[in-house]
Structure 1
Amino acid sequence: MRQARRVPDKHSQVDQVTKQVAVIGGGISGVCTAFFLADAGHDVVLIERHQNVAQESSFASSGLVAPAYAGPSAVPGMPRRILSALFQSESPVLLKPGLDRALWRWARRWVAECDLDRYRINRTRLQRLGLYSQGLLHRMREYYQLDYEQAQGVLQLFRTEKDLKLAEPGIALLAENGIPHRQVDTDGARAIEPALASDTALAGALYLPQDEAGNCPLFARRIKHIAADIGVQFHFGRRVERIEQDSRGVALLIDGQRFPVDAVVVAAGADSERLLQPLGVRLPLYPVRQYAAAALIRNFDNAPKAALADEAYKVEIARLGSRIRLSGVAQLTPDSASLKERAMRTLIKAGSDWFPDAAGYAQANFWSGVRLVLPDGVPVLGPTPVRDVYINMAQAESGWTMAVGAGKLVSDMVSGQAPDIDADGLTMARYG
């Protein structure tokens, strides 16, 4: 591997105080945060309970790096659509009605975010961060000559006119913000993706030429090696028991031992809430399980060229090397065999409906990961009310789209530097 070099940055390190910073979590968010902290000159350690990076929700990533496509799940008209789909054999949302008060409290806030004005604010925030993140990703890809099975272009597929109607607010926002996109009819969609099955109903599509796809776990491993070369120390198989305030900053309790540091960044995915609540850091989070599958391509002529999104079932389809990645289905209730079976059926249906002869879906490998999701669908980054404790979390299904930019923003905040983009609406300040 070529020797790691620091990515050129407008910020000078001359007046910056070097800190000892611990990053908790080895998903794509934690790895990117650790890289940028080391790139800024800090002494960085990353602590991960698994034996490598990107082993949980990052491993189940859809593969999309798609700021134009990225949007909150809280969309005008979405509550009614979810209710109508709950009892279908294949559904984008898995929910068994019950008395989970935490879920219903979260759901009430989520429904409020489905208001058109709130949707526009939330999607604009996601696109601001996503476009910034994608720009940084391209700089890193060029600078380090990275290959992570990337492919250009995302095609949103609308099976019915109702699907198209639901997408109208998002399409209008793309136009207002000057983000490249092109609405196409069925013939136009098949010109972009010639392998699309002709007997699957298609009312139209939206082509996003600057969005892309790639192998998220592979990218995370590439960045891990680069980060290690510029000084990040990785400790795998270690679990942080708690975070404590310390006279010099904060301390981590690991295996009964206290390790003081100047600052800590919590990027531990679904485990973040366990670490933050004892410190009094509370957010309206709810754990959502997402599923993914990977099927080997057996007929490359009948496989997709890049990435697609089935808007009826909220399943993303991406070609990653010799595999087709299927990702989606939001499970909001405790695990069960029946829910898992419904999730797998939904993923397989999306893949086999659009590319029936491309891959052996019956032999696909399935896995899932839990994400903490906020009602507005926007991540929360930066300082907490607890001194020297920072967060990088709740990036939901757009995790990789946001990860590089989120890591840089958090690094700048830890360093006391002004971020490159406006962080309004991306921090805890939006919760008062």
Structure 2
Amino acid sequence: MTGRSVLVLGGGVVGVATAWYCAQAGCAVTLIERREGVGMETSFANAGQVSPGYSAPWAGPGMQVKALRWLAMKHGPLKVQPRMDRALFAWLIRFNAACTAEAYATGKSRMMRLATYSRDMLRLLRAETGIAYDHGEGGTLQLFRTQKQVDAAIKDVTVLRELGVEHRMLDRAAVLAQEPGLAAATAPIAGGLLLPGDETGDAHLFTRELARMAADAGVTFVHDTNIDSIVAKDGRVDHVLAGGQTYRADEVVLALGSYSADIARPLGLDLPVYPLKGYSLTAPVADPAGAPLSTVMDETYKIGITRLGGRVRVGGTAELAGFDTRLPSKRTEVLRLSLTDLFPRAADLDAVQYWTGLRPATPDGPPIVGASPIANLWLNCGHGTLGWTMACGSGRLIADLITGATPDIDYADLSYARYSPVNA
């Protein structure tokens, strides 16, 4: 059904990709964003990875023990800000229920299906439009400092093999051949896992460029406008109130990241999406020979170090702190530590810029993409740390569903329906 009018709520990379694909499918699209431009929040300074091979739920067997160990570490990858938060407690109950081998395998297969498809859509988009965003195709290198980490990764390789993900286990010499800049590392290097199908790129730059192309294709962008509420009548969205104005469309797409749950709640929808606060630093490359060629994932601290053109981006940490967007220095210390441990000559840290953002996470891992119980309301949210990785695939999937086209991948198990009592 082409010719539909579509209202996209949210101007992050997921929302802009949705608007683009809906416009390409012949829809009349309006996108509403509360910030002054697109990609200004979670998409602004993320770790820069397009990582199908690294797509997996946080919830998994033994995660409760790992979480306690991480919380006890000075520079652990998980932090919790003590607070009375009913939404967090409800999310943690669901997260705990997903920490089983069966749930992990299910979540990982769903995430990798969407992430791989999304990477393919990104490559096709790049080929067809020439969109430029400091992209690289050097893969992801998961770096292990200890033999224990290497041994644990060998178990994960079985899952990668079953899912058909290209990968190679590397010894120390092969790691240094893959990333020569690591030769200056002061940290021990025991080995690595290379995922050559992964890519890198600046999500903010991509989102801005795609929005420009979408505007040229007829998409209307409404900036500096808060989404106040979605008003439903007789099981359908009647209109959206935003910035004191009323907006109507045949179809509405909710792509507000961590803020999706609050907007959906008055409609009777319980979206289990909670913000995982993340941090990053960006600095100019000081010594190209001492900088990463692509992305290196420091397994010890769960930190990603990525080369983005003439810059180095370091991102990581998952903090449960509600919607707190403060940037305390104690949270950025680990970013500098990981960078200087592994690439001490890479970046000009006198010119560093720090950032924090709220990554919208579901308890079981995969995003919520597809139909909702409200007839003309579509959901595209909950991508966690993988919004950049999954944006194009999610946007194309929503566009296909809205227009009645047959999607290229299985999609039913990505929808909100998976949280119903029947499917729980």
TM-score range, shorter-chain basis?
A: over 0.9
- The aligned runs of 1:3-402 (5 Å cut-off) are 16-97=1-82, 99-152=84-137, 153-196=139-182, 197-245=184-232, 249-333=237-321, 340-361=328-349, 363-402=351-390
Distance 1:337 1:57 in 2: 11
The one-letter code matched in structure 1 to 2:296 is L
Give the alignment's Cα RMSD to 1 decimal. Answer: 1.9
Give the 3 Å change call, closer, same or farther, for CA 56–38 of structure 1 in structure 2.
same
Distance of aligned partners of 1:249 and 1:119 in 2 relative to their CA distance in 1, 3 Å threshold: closer
Is there any run of 5+ residues in structure 1 with no aligned partner, and where?
1-15
The offset of 1:87, in angstroms, is: 3.1
Q: Determine the C-alpha separation between the residues in 2 that align with 1:249 and 1:338.
A: 35
- 1:352 touches 1:361 (CA, 8 Å); kept in 2? no
Take 2:370 and 2:322, find their aligned partners in 1: how far apart are those partners?
30
Q: In structure 1, what is the Cα distance between the partners aligned to 2:66 and 2:190?
A: 18
SS of the aligned residue for 1:261 comes to coil
CA contact (8 A) 1:158 1:204 kept: yes
Q: Residues 204-230 of structure 1, C-alpha deviation per residue, up to 9 Å, x if partnerless?
A: 100111111011111111111111111
Q: Deviations over 1:222-249 (max 9, x none)?
A: 1111111111011111112111125785
* Distance change >3 Å, CA 338–CA 228, structure 1 → 2: closer
C-alpha separation between the residues in 2 aligned to 1:186 and 1:415?
A: 50
CA shift digits 1:58-93 (9 cap, x unpaired): 113211111011211123333222211213221211
Q: 1:288 to 1:317 in 2, by over 3 A?
A: same
- The one-letter amino acid paired with 1:83 is L
The number of residues matched between the two structures is 417
State the shift of 1:98 in Å.
5.3
Measure how far apart 1:142 and its partner are. Answer: 0.8
Q: Structure 1 313/234 Cα, relative in aligned 2: closer, same or farther at 3 Å?
A: same
- Structure 2 residue aligned with 1:412: 400
Measure how far apart 1:108 and its partner are. 2.9
Deviations 1:282-310 (A, max 9, x none): 12222221111101111111111111111
CA distance in structure 1 between the partners assigned to 2:201 and 2:328 by the alignment: 25
The 2-side partners of 1:337 and 1:179 are apart by 35
Percent identity between matched residues is 38
Distance 1:113 1:372, change over 3 A: same
Q: Tell me, in whole angstroms, the C-alpha distance in 2 between the residues paired with 1:273 and 1:192.
A: 42
Residue range with higher mean Cα deviation, 105-114 or 199-208: 105-114
Q: 2:251 and 2:345 mapped to 1: Cα distance?
A: 52
Unaligned 5+ segments in structure 2 are none
1:358 aligned partner, one-letter code: A
TM-score using structure 1 length: 0.92
The Cα offsets for residues 231-282 of structure 1, whole Å up to 9 and x where unpaired, read as 1011111112111125785211123332221111010112212211111111
Match of 1:12 in 2: none
Shift in Å, 1:127 = 0.7
Q: Deviations over 1:12-59 (max 9, x none)?
A: xxxx24111100100000000000100010100011111111000011
Tell me the TM-score normalised to structure 2 length: 0.94
SS state at 2:20 partner: helix
C-alpha distance in structure 1 between counterparts of 2:168 and 2:197, whole Å? 11
Query: Aligned partners of 2:43, 2:284: CA distance in 1, in Å?
Result: 20
Give 2:224's aligned amino acid.
Answer: G
Change in Cα spacing, 1:198 to 1:364, as seen in structure 2 (3 Å) is closer
